[in-house]
Structure formats: structure tokens, C-alpha cells
């Protein structure tokens, strides 16, 4: 790692923190701190929806999976695309029509306060664990490439990400997500296109891949791979559309904007992952020995597949840009998770009638700082587990820990006639299913009726994941549906009956003009200026490159910034020349 790469990473750290503080003035109260006052443009919400579904792990653990197993890794990301397209068609608008501020408000209205409390206290440690995994993946690879010990790397990256979240709340988080989306797409799409050009097109890329590009290594039973892909698609669809993840649609102005945000995220997940994994596929086809290239990574050397291509095939300075992209990919989901937890704490735990807005805003910032500190400590603990693979860890968390929560949170807006206790009891049943499979299901060979052959380690891991997801879809989901047998419409207290009736009525009732907050073009204007500044700061890289690649990256950032700037200026002129509108507007 050269001096120019260090300068780029440190410079990006400073730039993105200053950009976050630039949006601090838009977080005037707790409502704006939590979800931006329901006034964010659809493209900003879509950028956040996209950015929160992956992290630096995508370019480390997932890239290593692509290096060894070919195209199968795309199922994980195309599952996100499928989930967002379903959200655009069904869930996104419904969540926005619920007129809530946090995901836990959905749970409270649907299942009552006891279930909301359970979800709240489970969601905090689970989201903190997920944030720690994201942070660990970033710090691990930066430490390995730079030679800096992982402890100070974790502390610095965790501190910066926490400061971004605490600075301006939802506005700072979502606005910086747009900046980071532009940077990631500019770097990774151009890098992927260059790798495809070096490979002489898709055909040679597939042909030169060692082993079977479609099945990957250690997968003699293609039916197992198909089963794994099917379960991944289903699991990602549930993960994308359950109430715990609805925060990404609550920030939008209205239902059409929520749909467009989901649609944008779906399109990005179709195109982006293909381009992300072309460099690892190319490196595999070239017979690269990652173990000798990254001996400091030990058994996790395949996690350097993406960075190997950037280091050896791209111009000087691109490694710093790639690490900045990984930084961006971790800042976005982690800062969003911290902001979401702060909103849940304010509204669902801490808030009391006598609390002022200033006190709630201060509490939100303090809980963000505490949550970020805990996530950093947990990431450090994970880093000490040498034998723990990033890919396997992420898949285990998603299937074993999150599924018991996501299933009732998804069915909450689909199935009506269930008792309140269906929510917490389904979580309990799902936890028992996960525990039973974790303790008692360790496949080493197929059953006799499927041939009885011995499973490879990859097949055993994929089968465990697929069976876990299938068990939850059958047993956990089935239990929730069975609770309908105990549903009694007259079993609710009068106030609770009115709350449930209002919940399902809101799912069908469109937002009224008085409930829609007009966006503030000055936020888009500031974003455009920041992207123009970023393109200016990146422009010296053009002189370092021996070809046009850095120039294309700078040009992409410049065009994005110019587009936002001109769009905002045009909207400001229209506002000044038009009559005052009756709808609410966010403050300057």
C-alpha cells in the first residue's frame, strides 16, 4: 500500500465526516433526526435502501466466494433485487401509509406493546452484531493491506462511522449514502468493465475460470446448489420486506416515492453485483495464488481477491479508491443501523410526555455514540476469532438469528386474523427451530434415499443454510398461521381493537396532501456541491494514471454532482416563481 493510497483513504474519511456535519442543520428535532421528516427524495431513499444491503464484506468475503465458486454468489444479491421489486409492487407503499416513524411502531400497532418490547430489545443486540460484522470486515482487510494492527484500525473506523451517524441523524446518513453510492458505482463499475475488457469478454471469462463456473468448487451435487439458491432468494426476499426493514420506505414523501425507491434499489442490485465480481472471476481465471500474495490473511487469503485485481491490474491510486469504496460500503449500512437504533430508543423506549425536543435530540445522539462504541468492541471480539470465515458468519446470522424475527414481522402486514401473542410466540418457536438445527443438524452425507454420498464442506454448509431457511418457512411460518385458530375478534380491549383496526385501515388509506411534506431542494443543492467538490479532489489522480480509467471515475462523479446541482437550482427557481403551496415544507 503506497503513500497515495493512504492519502486517499484518510482524505475520504475526512471528507465524508465533514459532509455529514454539513447536513447537521437539517436535523432540527427528533422527527427529522429519526427519518428526515418524511421529506427525502425517492432517489435518496433508494440509494440508502441499496447501500444498506451490502458492506465491505461484499468486496472481501463475497468476492472470495466468487473467486472459488463462480456465479453462485450472485443469488445472494439478486435475492435483494427480487425482494425490492416485490416491495415496489406490494410492501413499500403499504409501510409508508402506516404513518409511523420507526419499525417498532409497526410491531406495536400490530401486536401490542409486549411484542414491541421483545422485538426492540432483541433488535438492538442483533443490529449491533450485524454492524460489528460489517466493521470487522472493513478493518480486517484495511489492516492486512496497510500493515496497521487491527485494533487501532477498528477504533478509528468505528469512531468515524459513529460520528457520521450522531452528527445529523437521518439526513446526514442518507445524504452521505448518496455520495458513497456515486463513488462506489463509479469505481466498481469501471473496474468491472476494465476486467471484462482484459478477459476479452464474457465467453473467455467463463471459459478460463478454473473448474465449473456455474457450480464452483466442491459441488458435485448440482441439486444441492439449486436448493441453496432457492432458499437464498426466499430468505433475502423475507429480509428485504419485513417490518424490521421498513425504515428505508418511511423516509419518503409519499407512496409513489416509496415504490420508486424500492424499484431503484432493485435495478441497482441486478447490475451492480455482476460488475463487482468480474475482477475476482478474472483473477481466478489467471490462476492467481492469493495465499502467497496475502500470507498475512492466513486461511482467509481468498478475501483479497478483489483487491488483488485492483493492486496488480489497475493504475496507481486505485487501491486507495477501492479501499475508500469499501469504507463507503461499510459506513452506509452501519450508520443507517445506528440511526435506526437511535430512533427506536427515542420513540419506543425513552420518550415521555414531559421530554422536550431538545432532550430527545440529545438522547438520540448519545445513544448513537454508545451503540457505535459497543459495535466497535464487538467487532474487536470477532476479529480475535481466527477460524471464523466472513461468508459463513454472515449466512449463519441471517438464517439462524434473524429469521425468527423477520417471519412474524413480514406476516404482520399480510395476515390479519391472528391474536396479539402470535408475534412473540412465533419468535419463540423460531428461536427453538434455530437452536435445534444449530445443535442437532450437522450433515456429513446425503440420506440414503438421495444416494447417501459424502458431502463436501461447501455442500454441508450450503445444505445447513438451506434446511435452516426451509425449516423456518415451514415450521415458524406455519406456527404463525396456526395461531389464527385462536383468533377472537372480541378478545381485544376497546382501545386495542381500535388500534388494530386503524392499522389495517391505514394500509389501504392513501396519504392526504396535508400529510405530505414537500422536499427542500437546498439539500439536493448541497449534495450536488459536495459531489462537485469530491470530483475536484479526485482530479489529481488523472495525472497519475497511464490510461483513461481514473479520468472516467472522476467524470462519473462530476456528472452526478452536476446533475444534482442543476436539478436543485431549477427546482429553487420554480419555487420562487410559483404560488405558496399548502403542503408542509422541510426547513432550510
DSSP 586: -
Mean pLDDT to the nearest integer, 123-131: 81
Model confidence at 481: pLDDT above 90: yes
Same domain, 530 and 494: no
Q: So what's the pLDDT on residue 388?
A: 53
Lowest-confidence segment of 110-124, 140-154, 266-280, 318-332 by average pLDDT: 140-154
State the average pLDDT over residues 151-168: 79
Q: What DSSP designation does 54 have?
A: -
Between CA 568 and CA 572 the distance in angstroms is: 6
Note the pLDDT of residue 299. 75
Cell of 124: 438492538
Q: Judge if 500 and 547 occupy the same domain.
A: no
Q: Is 484 helix (H, G, I), strand (E, B) or coil?
A: helix
Residue 221 has pLDDT above 60, yes or no: yes
pLDDT averaged over the chain? 85
* 23 and 45 belong to one structural domain: yes
Same domain, residue pair 214 and 254: yes
In a domain? residue 54: yes
Q: Which domain holds residue 53?
A: 1-392+486-515
If asked whether residues 339 and 298 sit together in one domain, one would say yes
Same domain, 511 and 529: no
Q: How confident is the model at residue 396 (pLDDT cuts 50, 70, 90)?
A: low
Asked, for residue 43, whether it belongs to a domain, the answer is yes
Q: Which CATH number do you get for residue 151?
A: 1.20.1730.10
- The reply to whether 541 and 506 lie within a common domain is no
Please indicate whether residue 238 or residue 9 has the higher confidence score (pLDDT): 238
The reply to whether 481 falls in a domain is: no
Residue 413's DSSP bridge partners are none
Q: Is residue 479 part of a domain?
A: no
User: Quick one: 501 and 563 in the same domain?
Assistant: no
One domain, residues 505 and 534: no
405 belongs to a structural domain: no
What is the tally of structural domains in the chain?
Answer: 2
Going by pLDDT thresholds of 50, 70 and 90, the confidence category of residue 506 is very high
Residues 6+ positions from 26 with CB-CB distance below 8 Å: 32, 36, 168, 171, 520, 523, 586, 587
**In this predicted model, which residue has the larger pLDDT, 177 or 279?**
279
pLDDT band (50, 70, 90) for residue 536: very high
Consecutive H or E run containing 268: helix 255-285
Asked if residue 460 is part of any domain, the answer here is no
Backbone conformation region of residue 315, classed left if phi is above 0, alpha if psi is from -120 to 50, else beta: beta
pLDDT surpassing 90 at residue 415? yes
pLDDT at 545: 66
pLDDT for 291 beyond 80: yes
Q: What is the pLDDT of residues 437-455, one digit of tens each?
A: 888 888 887 666 666 778 8
**Predicted pLDDT at 50:** 92
pLDDT surpasses 60 at 124: yes
CA 189 – CA 187 distance, rounded (Å): 6
Q: What is the mean pLDDT of residues 470-479?
A: 95
Confirm whether 418 is domain-assigned: no
In angstroms, the CA 67 to CA 76 distance is 15
Per-residue model confidence (pLDDT) at position 217: 83
Cα 471 to Cα 243, 262, 399, 464, distances in angstroms: 21, 28, 10, 10
Range name among 33-37, 73-77, 271-275, 414-418 with the lowest pLDDT average? 33-37
Average pLDDT in the 414-432 region? Answer: 94
Residues 509 and 526 in one domain: no
**pLDDT (0 to 100) of residue 206:** 94
Please determine, for residue 192, whether its predicted confidence score (pLDDT) is greater than 80: yes
**pLDDT, position 584:** 52
| Residue whose C-alpha is closest to residue 332's, from 11, 48, 32, 43 | 48
What does the alpha-carbon distance between residue 226 and residue 215 come to, in Å, rounded to a whole number?
9
Q: Do the domain assignments include residue 276?
A: yes
pLDDT of residue 29: 67
**Which set of grid coordinates corresponds to residue 534?**
469530491
| Position 302 confidence tier, pLDDT thresholds 50, 70, 90 | confident
Over residues 16-27, the pLDDT tens digits come to 888 888 877 776
Indicate the pTM of the whole model.
0.87
Lowest mean pLDDT among 281-295, 360-374, 537-551: 537-551
pLDDT in tens, 512-523: 988 888 777 888
For 65-71, what is the mean pLDDT?
A: 92
Amino acid at each position: 500500500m503506497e503513500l497515495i493510497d493512504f492519502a486517499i483513504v484518510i482524505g475520504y474519511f475526512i471528507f465524508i465526516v465533514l459532509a455529514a456535519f454539513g447536513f447537521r442543520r437539517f436535523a432540527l428535532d427528533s422527527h427529522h433526526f429519526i427519518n428526515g421528516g418524511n421529506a427525502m427524495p425517492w432517489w435518496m431513499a433508494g440509494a440508502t435502501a441499496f447501500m444498506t444491503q451490502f458492506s465491505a464484506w461484499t468486496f472481501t468475503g463475497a468476492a472470495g466466494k466468487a473467486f472459488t465458486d463462480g456465479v453462485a454468489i450472485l443469488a445472494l444479491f439478486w435475492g435483494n433485487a427480487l425482494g425490492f421489486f416485490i416491495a415496489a409492487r406490494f410492501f413499500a407503499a403499504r409501510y409508508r401509509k402506516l404513518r409511523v416513524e420507526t419499525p417498532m411502531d409497526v410491531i406495536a400497532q400490530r401486536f401490542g406493546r409486549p411484542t414491541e418490547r421483545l422485538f426492540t430489545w432483541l433488535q438492538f443486540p442483533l443490529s449491533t452484531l450485524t454492524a460489528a460484522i460489517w466493521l470487522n470486515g472493513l478493518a480486517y482487510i484495511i489492516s492486512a493491506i496497510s500493515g496497521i494492527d487491527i485494533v487501532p484500525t477498528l477504533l478509528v473506523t468505528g469512531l468515524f462511522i459513529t460520528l457520521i451517524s450522531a452528527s445529523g441523524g437521518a439526513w446526514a446518513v442518507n445524504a452521505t449514502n448518496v455520495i458513497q453510492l456515486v463513488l462506489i458505482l463509479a469505481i466498481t463499475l469501471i473496474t468491472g468493465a476494465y476486467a471484462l475488457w482484459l478477459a476479452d469478454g464474457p465467453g473467455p471469462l467463463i471459459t478460463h475460470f478454473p473448474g465449473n463456473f456455474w457450480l464452483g468448487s466442491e459441488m458435485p451435487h448440482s441439486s444441492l446448489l439449486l436448493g441453496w439458491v432457492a432458499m437464498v432468494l426466499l430468505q433475502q426476499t423475507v429480509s428485504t420486506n419485513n417490518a424490521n426493514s421498513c425504515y428505508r420506505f418511511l423516509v419518503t414523501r409519499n407512496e409513489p416515492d416509496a415504490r420508486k425507491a424500492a424499484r431503484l434499489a432493485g435495478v441497482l442490485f441486478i447490475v451492480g453485483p455482476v460488475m463487482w465480481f468480474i475482477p475476482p472471476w478474472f483473477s481466478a481465471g489467471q490462476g492467481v495464488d492469493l495465499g502467497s500474495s496475502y500470507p498475512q490473511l492466513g486461511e482467509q487469503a481468498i478475501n483479497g481477491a478483489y483487491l488483488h485485481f485492483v493492486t496488480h491490474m489497475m493504475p496507481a491510486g486505485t487501491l486507495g479508491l477501492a479501499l475508500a469504496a469499501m469504507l463507503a460500503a461499510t459506513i452506509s449500512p452501519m450508520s443507517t443501523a445506528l440511526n435506526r437504533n437511535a430512533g427506536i430508543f427515542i420513540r419506543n423506549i425513552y420518550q415521555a410526555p414531559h421530554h422536550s425536543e431538545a432532550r430527545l435530540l440529545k438522547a438520540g445522539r448519545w445513544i448513537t455514540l454508545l451503540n457505535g462504541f459497543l459495535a466497535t468492541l464487538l467487532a474487536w471480539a470477532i476479529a480475535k476469532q481466527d477460524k471464523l470465515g466472513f461468508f459463513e458468519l454472515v449466512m449463519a446470522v441471517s438464517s439462524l438469528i434473524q429469521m425468527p424475527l423477520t417471519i412474524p414481522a413480514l406476516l404482520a402486514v399480510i395476515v390479519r386474523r391472528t391474536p396479539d401473542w402470535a408475534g412473540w410466540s412465533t419468535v419463540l418457536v423460531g428461536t427453538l427451530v434455530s437452536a435445534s438445527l444449530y445443535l442437532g443438524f450437522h450433515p456429513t452425507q446425503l440420506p440414503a434415499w438421495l444416494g447417501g454420498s459424502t458431502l463436501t464442506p461447501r455442500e454441508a454448509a450450503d445444505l445447513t443454510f438451506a434446511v435452516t431457511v426451509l425449516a423456518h418457512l415451514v415450521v415458524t411460518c406455519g406456527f404463525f398461521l396456526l395461531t389464527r385458530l385462536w383468533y377472537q375478534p372480541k378478545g381485544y380491549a376497546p382501545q386495542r381493537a381500535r388500534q388494530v383496526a386503524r392499522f389495517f385501515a391505514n394500509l389501504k388509506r392513501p396519504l392526504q396532501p396535508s400529510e405530505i411534506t414537500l422536499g427542500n431542494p437546498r439539500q439536493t443543492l448541497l449534495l450536488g456541491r459536495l459531489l462537485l467538490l469530491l470530483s475536484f479532489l479526485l482530479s489529481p489522480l488523472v495525472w497519475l494514471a497511464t490510461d483513461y480509467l481514473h479520468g472516467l471515475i472522476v467524470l462519473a462523479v462530476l456528472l452526478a454532482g452536476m446533475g444534482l446541482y442543476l436539478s436543485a437550482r431549477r427546482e429553487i427557481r420554480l419555487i420562487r416563481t410559483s404560488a405558496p403551496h399548502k403542503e408542509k415544507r422541510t426547513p432550510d
